[in-house]
Structure 1
């Protein structure tokens, strides 16, 4: 039983590490897209065939938001499960789990808003 718990603990650490790194990379790219889009709107660059920053019409905005939400859910879910597995002993652990659940809710809400449109974009590409 101890070996299984050790394996689960190592797996959750790995999933968290991969998820947080991927979330940082995807969030950075998504933020770059937002900054470029805002600059394009203010500077009057050529208009696109779709309205920019529209969840229904902008495929990059919807798929970028869904990717950010997916990696946030992955990393925060692994973080919360890891802390529950190793135990909640002090106020720092309780605070860490509280913020883990908050980020899990944020990522889930972001997925709820953007995932259906991102799936439609992906299916049209296939």
Structure 2
């Protein structure tokens, strides 16, 4: 039984680390796209063939949001399961689980909004 718990703990640590790294890799180009889009709107650059930041017509915004939601969902789910496996002993671990559940809900909502449109684009 201890071997199974050790294996589960190691796999949850690995998926948490991979989820955080993948989120950071996707965050950089997505953040750059958002900054460029805001600049284009504010400075009045030539219009694109699709409306920027539209959930129905902007494939880069929707696919970036779906990837961010997916990787955040993976990392926050792994974090919550890891914390529950390790144990809830003090106020810090209770607070960590609370924020883990908040992150799980937010990333699930982002994924629920963006995933159907991202699937339609691909």
Query: Could you say which TM-score interval applies, normalised by the shorter chain?
Result: over 0.9
1:77-108 deviations in Å (ceiling 9; x for gaps):
00000011111111111000000000000000
Deviation at 1:112, TM superposition (A): 0.7
**Residue number in structure 2 paired with 1:19:** 19
Structure 1 segments, 4+ long, off by >2 Å, are: none
In the superposition, the TM-score normalised over structure 2's length comes to 0.97
In the superposition, the TM-score normalised over structure 1's length comes to 0.94
Aligned length: 122
Work out the CA distance in 1 between the residues paired with 2:71 and 2:16: 9
Mapping for residues 11-50 of structure 1, pairs under 5 Å: 11-50=11-50
User: 5+ unaligned residues in a row in structure 1: which ranges?
Assistant: none
1:16-44 deviations in Å (ceiling 9; x for gaps):
00001111221222111000011111222
Say whether residues 1:105 and 2:73 are aligned partners: no
User: 5+ unaligned residues in a row in structure 2: which ranges?
Assistant: none
Deviation at 1:58, TM superposition (A): 0.3
Work out the CA distance in 1 between the residues paired with 2:26 and 2:17: 14
What is the CA RMSD across the aligned residues, in angstroms? 0.8
Say whether residues 1:92 and 2:92 are aligned partners: yes
